[in-house]
């Protein structure tokens, strides 16, 4: 067990509730770990709480922590960039050891180019460009740069002749008419911001705004004012959360979930499943993975399943495939499966698991009521705590039996609790004369509900994203792609010659014949 020295213990009580960067130090004063936090008080104190379920690497780090310092920042964006600078400065050894995936991300800007582009890479090259990083949260980095683009417009790729100027019209890309030098001046401000000089940039923008207003250049003054407001808005944007690299035991929702389900260990890997289709066609299933309570997008998977409008049958197929020997070997075995659906989908998943001969807890969550459905025998969980909750009177938990399942509602007193579930329970909370006797359960029900909501919503989003991509593809398809015998090379050749699909269709037969031959010209004319 980790024994904290009294000086550090007293120091932790002074942690602020602001974004910032923290520095864990050894007894010799060496900086051994640098991290960022949306709320310093919450994140830093997590290291020194109960260590059960913590991985060996985190325990090794915590065992070496003798002192902790921090720097407050005005926003999470500032913390994100400052963390990168501090890691480069101190090169803390645990910032490498605790991240085995080596997935650091860098921002690449080639200022030697006439029109530099801003891009992201995980493999910096010795190509003369400037690289800023490393950043360990690629999602937060891209999100921050998207907002900063409204303040400092930049190109994400080189312009091509005839390309749409939508980004330029929206103020996200530089105006080509202003020239390359003006664009590079804006990029230098972006680089300065990334390096942490936010206040100096804000002062400069305000000064330029006042100068423009004094010269009656009100259009430029308004543009600079909008940039200042956008910088202020960044302070309120949530770029990341304190869920990053949380220890298992620190996520109260996971600990309480283990208690609720009678699990021997806190679930490290939770997988969520959902089925999506378009009127029974193009059926796809999503598998999302939450590791230690945080989404692990690198582990997400999609399954194409049978073309049938049968959610239970499709769920059976997906779980049966997921628990196959090959996938178990490649992805490991989850600690808990969460099925998006009702009794039918849950029963199908249990059947698939049993046929694979695997012991694995499986529960489901109803879409509308957000109630947890637990099979009395098939879910393979400990039922003692569920039965205890059922017999007791709790304000934040309501449990009823529906044949072979328990239906658990963890927010019955909330306004958004499903009316259907309330009716099934006879609105006991509202009608019981002994309302004053209701007590709170020993688990944080709200935290568990939010965890399940995140998993359910993410599995649904990931499944739907497949059909969204298909719709976009269909929207961008042109008439030529529907003609059998007209391949991509022919389409490209025709587009280079005529400029658009409309002009190709309207072209004379002789022109088409001269370009692609008689056979293909006949195909095009017949289709039109």
My answer on whether omega of the bond before 400 falls inside 30° of 0, hence cis, is: no
Among 66, 62, 72, 136, residue whose Cα is nearest residue 105? 136
Angle at alpha carbon of residue 506, lines to 500 and 512, rounded to 5°: 85
Range list for CATH 3.40.1440.10 in the chain: 1-238
Residue 45 contacts residue 14 (beta carbons within 8 Å): no
Read out DSSP for 388-423?
A: HHHHS-BSS-EEEEETTEEEEES-TTSTTS-HHHHH
Range list for CATH 3.30.420.340 in the chain: 251-465
Cα–Cα distance measured from residue 240 to residue 295, given in angstroms and rounded to the nearest whole number: 12
- CATH domain 251-465 topology: Nucleotidyltransferase; domain 5 (3.30.420)
SS3 state of residue 483: coil
Torsional sign, CA 464, 467, 469, 471: negative
Quick one: average pLDDT of 89-95?
82
Quick one: average pLDDT of 474-482?
58
Written as six digits, the tokens of 212 are 């423009």
Q: How confident is the model at residue 246 (pLDDT cuts 50, 70, 90)?
A: very low
What ranges in 19-148 are assigned the alpha helix state H? 40-46, 56-64, 76-90, 94-97, 138-148
Range list for CATH 1.10.150 in the chain: 479-527
Cα–Cα distance measured from residue 425 to residue 427, given in angstroms and rounded to the nearest whole number: 5
- Tokens 């008080």 correspond to 41
Q: Which of 134-138, 433-437, 438-442, 456-460 has the lowest mean pLDDT?
A: 433-437
Query: At residue 510, does pLDDT exceed 50?
Result: yes
Give the single-character DSSP code of 14: T
Q: Is 19 exposed, middle or buried (0-12, 13-18, 19+ CB in 10 A)?
A: buried
Most confident of 56-70, 121-135, 165-179: 56-70
Written as six digits, the tokens of 94 are 């645990």
Query: At residue 415, does pLDDT exceed 60?
Result: no
Mean of all residue pLDDT scores within the chain:
79
What residues does 118 pair with on adjacent strands? 109
Domain 479-527 of CATH type 1.25.40:
no
Residue 117 contacts residue 110 (beta carbons within 8 Å): yes
Convert the pLDDT of each residue in 299-331 to its tens digit.
889 888 876 778 899 999 999 999 999 999 989
Residue 243 contacts residue 341 (beta carbons within 8 Å): no
Q: What is the structure's pLDDT at 439?
A: 74
Residues in CB range of 435: below 8 A, 6 or more apart: 429
Convert the pLDDT of each residue in 373-408 to its tens digit.
999 999 999 998 888 888 887 777 888 888 899 998
Q: Using alpha carbons only, how large is the chain's radius of gyration in Å?
A: 29
Domain 1-238 of CATH type 3.40.50.300:
no
């Amino acid at each position: 067990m980790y024994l904290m020295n009294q000086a550090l213990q007293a120091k932790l009580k002074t942690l602020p509730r602001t974004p910032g960067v923290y520095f864990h130090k050894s007894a010799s004063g060496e900086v051994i770990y640098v991290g960022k936090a949306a709320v310093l008080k919450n994140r830093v104190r997590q290291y020194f709480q109960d260590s059960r379920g913590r991985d060996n690497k985190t325990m090794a780090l915590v065992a070496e922590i003798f002192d902790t310092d921090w720097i407050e920042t005005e926003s999470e964006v500032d913390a994100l960039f400052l963390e990168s600078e501090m890691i480069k400065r101190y090169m803390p050894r645990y910032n490498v050891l605790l991240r085995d995936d080596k997935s650091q991300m860098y921002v690449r800007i080639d200022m030697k180019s006439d029109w530099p582009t801003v891009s992201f890479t995980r493999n910096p090259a010795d190509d003369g460009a400037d690289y800023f990083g490393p950043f360990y949260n690629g999602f937060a980095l891209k999100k921050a740069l998207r907002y900063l683009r409204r303040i400092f417009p930049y190109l994400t790729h080189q312009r091509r002749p005839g390309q749409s100027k939508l980004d330029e019209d929206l103020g996200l890309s530089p105006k080509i008419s202003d020239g390359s030098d003006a664009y590079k001046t804006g990029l230098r401000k972006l680089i300065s911001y990334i390096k942490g000089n936010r206040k100096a940039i804000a002062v400069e923008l305000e000064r330029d705004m006042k100068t423009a207003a004094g010269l009656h250049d009100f259009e430029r003054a308004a543009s600079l004012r909008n940039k200042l407001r956008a910088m202020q808005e960044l302070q309120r944007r949530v770029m990341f959360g304190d869920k990053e690299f949380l220890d298992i035991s620190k996520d109260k929702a996971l600990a309480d979930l283990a208690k609720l389900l009678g699990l021997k260990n806190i679930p490290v890997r939770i997988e969520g499943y959902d089925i999506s289709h378009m009127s029974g066609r193009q059926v796809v299933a999503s598998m999302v993975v939450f590791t230690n309570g945080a989404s692990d997008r690198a582990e997400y998977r999609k399954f194409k399943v049978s073309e049938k409008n049968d959610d239970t049958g499709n769920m059976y197929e997906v779980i049966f495939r997921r628990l196959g020997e090959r996938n178990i070997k490649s992805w490991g075995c989850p600690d808990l499966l969460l099925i998006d659906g009702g009794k039918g989908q849950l029963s199908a998943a249990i059947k698939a698991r049993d046929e694979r001969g695997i012991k694995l807890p499986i529960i489901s969550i109803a879409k509308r009521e957000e109630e947890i459905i637990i099979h009395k025998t098939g879910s393979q969980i400990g039922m003692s705590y569920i039965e205890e909750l059922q017999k007791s009177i709790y304000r934040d938990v309501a449990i009823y039996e529906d044949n072979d399942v328990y239906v658990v509602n963890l927010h019955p007193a909330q306004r958004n609790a499903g009316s259907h579930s309330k009716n099934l329970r006879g609105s006991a909370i509202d009608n019981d004369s002994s309302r004053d006797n209701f007590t709170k359960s020993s688990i944080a029900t709200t935290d568990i509900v939010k965890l399940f909501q995140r998993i359910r919503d993410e599995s649904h989003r990931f499944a739907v994203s497949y059909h969204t991509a298909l719709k976009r593809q269909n929207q961008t398809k042109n008439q030529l792609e529907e003609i059998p015998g007209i391949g991509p090379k022919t389409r490209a050749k025709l587009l280079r010659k005529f400029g658009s699909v409309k002009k190709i269709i309207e072209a004379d037969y002789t022109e088409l014949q001269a370009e692609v031959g008689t056979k293909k010209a006949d195909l095009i004319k017949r289709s039109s």
